[in-house]
């Protein structure tokens, strides 16, 4: 069956909810207005429980079906990005320097639409836990909610997430079992040499030279240490050193990103980076220090949960519009923290020919709401069965 008629009826109102959120974006954990709006709507829908303040500003809604059964979690993210919007849309951000450039406003609206439909029908056995999360954009809001007792206070057997994808046609879905998004880690490399006059380099230990060798050498980690079948990224993205053209500086600092689709490759990258940075310093007589900060883990979809998510997508979209073996991405998602603790799956949904995520011209496509919300409902009713 295609998208649900009742969801199609709700979709125009959900689009208004989405545009209201878009006009009033909030960053990281400071999503106070957004969380208040979400909680108010969930209470208005008649959910059995609505709890705020989980993971600082997260909202959890609990809906029980017509009879006891399993429990599944459904997650939407709520935070925006520190980007100045250039869409020119009537519903453009009213907050200077902040916009919903990743579609979290749409994710929230779709899950609210699904919550409304499910609360009206309760055509399932068991419990649905709606998780509205802050701070996906770099703050690790998922981990904060978990540390605040999310799964102890609201037990679930599985958890699912959805994200829009620019370039994928409206009404299409993409998913894969196993790694679908990468881990993302940050590195900072401090190099201390011996500064001096640029005309007498023999009296110095040039940290720029050391840094240049490090930039070149770290590329060999992916090219010569990581299995060519595996995927990995090591990118040095900043290089700061020096203040004048005739002075060899005393120190230099490099920063960058490290990404992998396999936890074992992630470990390998970290170990080799320490070795390369140390060796480069020893080669030139400089002191080097690598600070390696782990960020979001690999997003690993459970095989069974992936099958359930793909089946629900086929019910909504049709066989030809579901790619169940999509190419993984080197971007990262803090939904990965949930998947470390519970089986589940993360799926992509088409946003049509929009600007890319995190671009100032990006906007969530309201035509996608009916498809995403219908997928949520189908997933619940298929996994939990009739009440």
Which domains does the chain show, CATH number per domain? 5-181+298-384 (3.40.630.10), 183-294 (3.30.70.360)
Q: What is the pLDDT along the chain (387 residues), one digit of tens a residue?
A: 587 788 999 999 999 999 999 999 999 999 999 999 999 999 999 999 999 999 999 999 999 998 999 999 999 999 999 999 999 999 999 999 999 999 999 999 999 999 999 999 999 999 999 999 999 999 999 999 999 999 999 999 999 999 999 999 999 999 999 999 999 999 999 999 999 999 999 999 999 999 999 999 998 999 888 988 889 999 999 999 999 999 999 999 999 999 999 999 999 999 999 999 999 999 999 999 999 999 999 999 999 999 999 999 999 999 999 999 999 999 999 999 999 999 999 999 999 999 999 999 999 999 999 999 999 999 999 999 865
Is residue 79 annotated as a catalytic residue, yes or no?
Answer: yes
For residues 112 and 130, give the distance between their C-alpha atoms in angstroms, rounded to a whole number.
Answer: 9
3-state DSSP call for residue 371? helix
Q: Is residue 159 a contact partner of residue 73, using CB atoms and an 8 Å limit?
A: yes
Is residue 152 annotated as a catalytic residue, yes or no?
Answer: no
* Catalytic residue, candidates 79, 158, 206, 333: 79
Q: Is residue 214 a contact partner of residue 292, using CB atoms and an 8 Å limit?
A: no
For residues 344 and 76, give the distance between their C-alpha atoms in angstroms, rounded to a whole number.
Answer: 14
Q: Tokens standing for 151?
A: 């799964």
Among the listed residues 163, 89, 181, the one whose alpha carbon sits nearest the alpha carbon of residue 351:
163
Residue ranges with strand state E in the chain: 49-54, 58-64, 67-77, 125-133, 158-165, 173-174, 178-181, 183-192, 196-197, 232-241, 247-248, 251-260, 287-294, 299-301, 322-323, 344-350
> Dihedral, CA atoms, 125, 13, 53, 344, nearest 10 degrees?
40
pTM: 0.93
Q: Is residue 347 a contact partner of residue 304, using CB atoms and an 8 Å limit?
A: no
Q: Is residue 352 a contact partner of residue 169, using CB atoms and an 8 Å limit?
A: yes
* Catalytic residue, candidates 77, 136, 334, 366: 136
Q: Tokens standing for 317?
A: 């979209």
């Amino acid at each position: 069956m295609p998208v649900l008629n009742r969801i199609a009826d709700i979709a125009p109102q959900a689009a208004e909810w989405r545009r209201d959120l878009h006009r009033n974006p909030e960053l990281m954990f400071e999503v106070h207005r957004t969380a208040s709006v979400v909680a108010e709507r969930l209470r208005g829908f008649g959910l059995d429980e609505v709890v705020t303040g989980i993971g600082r500003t997260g909202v959890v809604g609990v809906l029980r079906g017509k009879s006891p059964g399993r429990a599944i979690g459904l997650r939407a993210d709520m935070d925006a990005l520190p980007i100045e919007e250039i869409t020119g849309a009537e519903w453009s951000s009213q907050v200077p320097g902040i916009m919903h450039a990743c579609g979290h406003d749409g994710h929230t609206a779709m899950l609210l639409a699904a919550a409304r439909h499910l609360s009206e029908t309760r055509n399932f056995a068991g419990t649905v836990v709606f998780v509205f999360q802050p701070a996906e954009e770099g703050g690790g809001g998922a981990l904060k909610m978990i540390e605040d007792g999310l799964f102890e206070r609201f037990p679930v057997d599985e958890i699912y997430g959805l994200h829009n994808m620019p370039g994928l046609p409206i009404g299409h879905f993409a998913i894969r079992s196993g790694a679908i998004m990468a881990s993302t880690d940050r590195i900072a490399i401090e190099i201390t040499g011996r500064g001096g006059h640029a005309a007498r380099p023999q009296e110095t230990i040039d940290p720029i030279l050391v840094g240049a060798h490090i930039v070149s050498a770290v590329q060999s980690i992916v090219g010569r240490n990581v299995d060519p079948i595996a995927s990995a990224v090591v990118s040095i993205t900043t290089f700061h050193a020096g203040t004048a053209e005739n002075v060899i500086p005393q120190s230099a600092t490099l920063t960058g990103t490290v990404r992998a689709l396999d936890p074992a490759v992630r470990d390998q990258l970290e170990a080799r980076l320490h070795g390369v940075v140390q060796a480069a310093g020893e080669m030139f007589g400089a002191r080097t220090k690598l600070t390696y900060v782990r960020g979001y883990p690999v997003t690993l979809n459970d095989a069974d949960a992936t099958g359930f998510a793909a089946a629900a997508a086929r019910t909504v979209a049709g066989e030809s519009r579901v790619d169940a073996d999509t190419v993984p991405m080197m971007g990262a998602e803090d939904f990965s923290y949930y998947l470390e603790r519970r089986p589940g799956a993360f799926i992509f949904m088409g946003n049509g020919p929009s600007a890319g995520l995190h671009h100032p011209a990006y906007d969530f496509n309201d035509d996608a709401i009916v498809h995403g919300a219908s997928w949520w409902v189908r997933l619940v009713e298929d996994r939990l069965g009739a009440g």
